[in-house]
Structure 1
Amino acid sequence: MSSQETLVQAFPDKPTPRVSYGNPFADSCIKHINETFKASRVYLIASFSLTKNTSYTSSLQAALGSKLVKTCVGMTPHTLMSEVLEIVDDCRNLEIDCIVTLGGGSLSDGAKIISFALANNVHTKEDLYKLPHIGPTTLNLPAKPSRIPIICIPTTLSGGEYSVYAGVTNHLTHEKIQFSPPLASPSLIILSGEIACSTPLEIWLQSGMRGVDHCVETLSSLKSTKEVDQSVLKSLKCLISGLLLSKSNAGRSQEEEASARLDCQLGIMYAMLFLHRGVDCGASHGIGHMLGPIGKVNHGQTSCILLPAVCKFNAIHGGVEILERQKVIRDTLWGIPEARFVFEKRGLIEEGADLGDLIDAVVGELGLKRTLHEVGVGPEMFEKLAEASLRDPFLRTNCVPIHNKEELLEVLGMCA
């Protein structure tokens, strides 16, 4: 076996998740099943599209060999409660001692809830509702911590695998329930640029811009810390460079594209310290939460459209400290060679372009949509969108808190 594996803790003060990269994903998976978890009965949950369109699932099945007890192919997006309960019963009956996911965020959320449910002898949706979940009276319900270890091999940049929260959708009411600790994060995350290349380029770039949104709103926050800022600046460098190279290398060098996508994955790992330390996001996230369902726009697209406008709003209405924090971000972006090339090609001047201009230039270079008009959201929807957005707590935690509809309409007008 190759000795190229790098194994690190995702967070400095928390033993899990650990993150592995550098080895072929299947080799790393079976190595840790044998040596770290000493597991013998593995349940694999694999992406339907990945299984249908690539050989990655079969390669992993072959590596797991006799330790693989069962494979479940595909879960419905947004993680349906009915499917989770079926797999819980499966795992209980099969006496599973390790769960592996190969795919996106719905699978990792599902696995986290499955392990939590098994630890608490859950059989029905009523049992699930007795576990701690976000709500006025439900956050501190008694529960045993997750026990069965999870290995996640992600194919997207959602970052959900780093979290100790997991969402599931009630298949009858369509209500989304967010489960909370003592639900545990996965024990191990295996990153693979090769597998990441199976994700369609546009989806990859959009989800990467969501990560950039995390970075910029964290670095803009007056509540962030030096430790978080350092990690998130590192993330921003990885993500901007990795996304631009993912775009420019697409269809050319498979090795270079895989390297760029791995850089993006590492960028997400560095970014997640903001979540671990409890630094709240800002208005781009807050408005985006409402633009998604109202305008039928996915989260990556909302970041592409809203983040430049929110940065401009913050620069106009913020004080000296906010402008200083934006300057740190601007200087970092100009220091990334791939980004500087884009800025200069588009005629931007280092002393004159504001942070919103720079982010908008990156979005344009990636070929992603940059305005509300492009996603079919016209001025006639702005009032409804503004009124709905005011209910989101991230409007108040924006570095320039937003309290009224007029301020929101100003932001929406900037990205019309």
Structure 2
Amino acid sequence: MSPLLHQYSLMERVLHDQRAAEALPGEVRRHGSSRAFIVSTASLAQSPRLREIAEALGPTCAGVYTGVRAHAPRDSVMAGAVAARQAKADLLIAIGGGSVIDAAKVMLLVLRHGYTHAEQLDVHAGAPWNTETQRPRDHAHWLRMMAVPTTFSAAEYTSVGGATEPKTKAKQAFGSQMMMPVAVVNDPVMTLTAPLDLLLATGMKAVDHAVERLTSNRANLYSDTVSAVALSLLSRNLPALRRDPSSLAVRGELQYGVFLSMAGIASGTRSNLAHAIAHAMGSLCDVPHGLTSCVLLAPVLRWVGDAAGGKQRVICEAMGREGADAASAVADLVASLGLPARLRDVGVRQELLATIAERTLHDPLTANCARKVESASQVREVLEMAW
């Protein structure tokens, strides 16, 4: 066996199938915080679920910011950081989907450095965030965050947050070990605040996470095992959710599948080409990440082909589609969920494909693909298949 390092994150606890309003006060006390600041979105601003959590926190709730928008534009991140600073927050609690959780992570970066203008983030965009030590040297100067996900985007399980630069509409990655949520509360009831089609689409993003770890050129026994179990849970329960949206049991199973879809990161196995294209395309074309997975994952699997070796068979077996090909199994799952399957169906204009292909080459996840990506023309092949 080749040398392999398993390095676990600074996340301390993942609470499954627990009510957020009941669990968070104890988690906040456990962390030693007294001024928790809630970060969310306008769609949840009037939600009784959000009010219930704020009320349960009582005097430890220092404030609520609900200005995060889709793709976490920098101005909403900065506004949230300013509000948290004014509230003298000592902990952030992100309640929402991927954009909210990403925004809260980048807010931590803003607060750590005392930034007041969005341009000050430029120096951190795309910079390496891993260090040789488990905690960076300045760890004592960072605030931390907790997350209560309302979708299946899985943003809560990474130490990287994306924020959109307004001029280029490019979604940039920012990261630090200290941006990893210290705790995640998986409350199936909180997913009732999201529309069903959004849940199904973000569930496909979790499928994307599992599949792309299986087809990564850095895959290993650990990442393969957890990713295959995740794919089994997700591919079985997403159609079940569409049939019975009221089932909290199904929603809980999906949340556990999302958790497992991200577990392979501990052994250094990250996503690859479908995610890289999604990063290049999502903010440029205003396509939510869940939908990018719907339209890109099957074409990427077709393009990767035999380079993935036996992993195509593993994908089919995990999805209960023995004897099929992986691309068809994924495409059939997308169709069964009533989700879009082509780039044109999500509003991507054909004249933008060249730009998307060029941007994809600069995304670090591209290097993880089982089939080596050496040119923009190769990415363009995938995009034309997806068109």
Q: Note the aligned Cα RMSD (angstroms).
A: 3.2
CA deviation vs aligned residue, 1:98-127 (integer Å, no higher than 9, x gap): 32222122332333333344444x042389
Other-structure match for 1:247: 242
Aligned length: 377
Contact 1:167 1:176 (C-alpha < 8 Å) held by counterparts: yes
The structural deviation recorded for 1:204 is: 1.2
Determine which of 33, 51, 61 is the counterpart of 1:68: 61
Give the Cα–Cα distance (whole angstroms) in 2 for the partners of residues 401 and 172 of structure 1. Answer: 31
CA deviation vs aligned residue, 1:129-163 (integer Å, no higher than 9, x gap): 49754248x988x9722543322111122222222
Determine which of 231, 236, 250 is the counterpart of 1:236: 231
The structural deviation recorded for 1:188 is: 0.9
Give the Cα–Cα distance (whole angstroms) in 2 for the partners of residues 405 and 310 of structure 1. Answer: 14
Partner SS, residue 206 of structure 2: helix
Other-structure match for 2:332: 361
CA deviation vs aligned residue, 1:364-393 (integer Å, no higher than 9, x gap): 100011223433557666555545544545
TM-score scaled by structure 2?
Answer: 0.84
Contact 1:81 1:171 (C-alpha < 8 Å) held by counterparts: yes
Other-structure match for 2:92: 99
The structural deviation recorded for 1:128 is: 4.6
The structural deviation recorded for 1:28 is: 0.3
Please tell me whether residue 273 in structure 1 is matched to residue 268 in structure 2. Answer: no
The structural deviation recorded for 1:166 is: 2.1
Determine which of 24, 27, 34 is the counterpart of 1:40: 34
The structural deviation recorded for 1:363 is: 0.7
Taking the TM superposition and a 5 Å limit, the aligned residue runs for 1:195-214 are 195-214=190-209
Determine which of 305, 309, 313 is the counterpart of 2:295: 305
The structural deviation recorded for 1:359 is: 1.0
Partner SS, residue 326 of structure 1: helix
Contact 1:196 1:262 (C-alpha < 8 Å) held by counterparts: no
Give the Cα–Cα distance (whole angstroms) in 2 for the partners of residues 397 and 272 of structure 1. Answer: 15
Change (3 A) 1:412 1:46: closer
Contact 1:152 1:188 (C-alpha < 8 Å) held by counterparts: yes
Contact 1:396 1:403 (C-alpha < 8 Å) held by counterparts: no
The structural deviation recorded for 1:273 is: 2.5
CA deviation vs aligned residue, 1:147-194 (integer Å, no higher than 9, x gap): 433221111222222222223345677665533225331111111111
Taking the TM superposition and a 5 Å limit, the aligned residue runs for 1:396-411 are 396-404=367-375, 407-411=378-382
Determine which of 101, 107, 118 is the counterpart of 1:114: 107
Give the Cα–Cα distance (whole angstroms) in 1 for the partners of residues 357 and 169 of structure 2. Answer: 24
Determine which of 154, 179, 183 is the counterpart of 1:184: 179
Other-structure match for 1:284: 274
Structure 2 residue runs of 5 or longer lacking an equivalent are: 1-5
Other-structure match for 1:220: 215
Change (3 A) 1:259 1:123: same
State percent identity of aligned pairs. Answer: 26
Looking at both structures, which has the greater relative contact order when contacts are Cα pairs under 8 Å and sequence separation is at least 6? 2
Contact 1:395 1:403 (C-alpha < 8 Å) held by counterparts: no
Contact 2:91 2:143 (C-alpha < 8 Å) held by counterparts: yes
Partner SS, residue 109 of structure 1: helix
Give the Cα–Cα distance (whole angstroms) in 1 for the partners of residues 351 and 185 of structure 2. Answer: 45
TM-score scaled by structure 1?
Answer: 0.79
The structural deviation recorded for 1:287 is: 3.2
Give the Cα–Cα distance (whole angstroms) in 2 for the partners of residues 380 and 123 of structure 1. Answer: 37
Structure whose CA Rg is larger: 1
